[in-house]
Amino acid sequence: MHATSGRLVAALVVVSFAASLPIAPLHAQAREQTTAMTPRTADPPARAGSEQVAVFAGGCFWGVEGVFEHLKGVKSATSGYAGGSVASPSYEEVSSGETRHAESVRVVYDPAVISYDQLLEVFFKVAHDPTQLDRQGPDTGTQYRSVVFYGDQSQRESAEAYVAKLRAAKAFSRPIVTEITPLGTFYPAESYHQHYMERHPYQPYILINDAPKVAHLRKAFPALYRDPPTD
């Protein structure tokens, strides 16, 4: 995202103003941009061969999606819902916490360019804080919990091994609370949630909570970073 000097000044003004406001309401207001709710069906599996799928949950899906969209080898990142008990849930249902879905991101990637282990590393080190239980930053509730949804035994073993390595290295000052659980059905979220960070780069919630993640990604993983992000 390349901003003109005028936009940078405007962004600074927005950040200054937003800092005096409660974050949760900003988040809620942004998510009420549309009243047209389109029914969702399960996302189709990725094509065999050059594509593989990984699904992660780590707080608001806007920022998680925004991080993965900036990775080389990622073909698509889709915000959605996973890990719950209700078919085709709406955002309002998921937000109640009663369906047990987590806001999640489905990542379709080329394993010849980026590995599942590299996705795990970015997820744990950049996309979210794996020590926050049933919350992430200003957002609270089980829908914001930290989860690695594995699609097969290989992904399960990779995730468990990576978490064990982080714990052994004492990479975090607090315990890792990330769930490692089988992926059931993934439901894409409403259209207004998709590519939200890219479409609303100066929205206060994005500036405060998510833009720093992309900046961190660029600094920590320069060989994997790409700009502009994937579609």
Q: Which residue ranges of the chain lie beneath pLDDT 50? A: 1-26, 32-41, 43, 46, 48
Residue 20 is assigned to a structural domain of this protein: no
Please tell me the total count of domains within the chain: 1
Q: What pLDDT sits at residue 50?
A: 82
Residue 11 is assigned to a structural domain of this protein: no
Residue 32 is assigned to a structural domain of this protein: no
pLDDT (tens digit per residue) in 57-106: 999 999 999 999 999 999 999 999 999 999 999 999 999 999 999 999 99
Q: What pLDDT sits at residue 21?
A: 43
Residue 74 is assigned to a structural domain of this protein: yes
Q: What pLDDT sits at residue 20?
A: 42
Both tokens of 3, joined, read 């901003």
Range of the domain at 52: 47-220
Residue 213 is assigned to a structural domain of this protein: yes
CATH number where 108 lies: 3.30.1060.10
Residue 180 is assigned to a structural domain of this protein: yes
pLDDT (tens digit per residue) in 144-159: 999 999 999 999 999 9
Residue 215 is assigned to a structural domain of this protein: yes
Q: What pLDDT sits at residue 67?
A: 98
Strand 52-58 to strand 74-82: parallel, antiparallel, or no bridges (unpaired)? unpaired
Strand 146-150 to strand 179-182: parallel, antiparallel, or no bridges (unpaired)? parallel
Q: What pLDDT sits at residue 83?
A: 98
Both tokens of 168, joined, read 């052994």
3-class DSSP state of 108: strand
Q: Is cis: bond before 229, omega within 30 of 0? A: no
Which are the catalytic amino acids?
60
Q: What pLDDT sits at residue 167?
A: 98
Burial of 55 (0-12, 13-18, 19+ CB in 10 A): buried
pTM above 0.75, yes or no: yes
Q: What pLDDT sits at residue 32?
A: 46
Residue 142 is assigned to a structural domain of this protein: yes
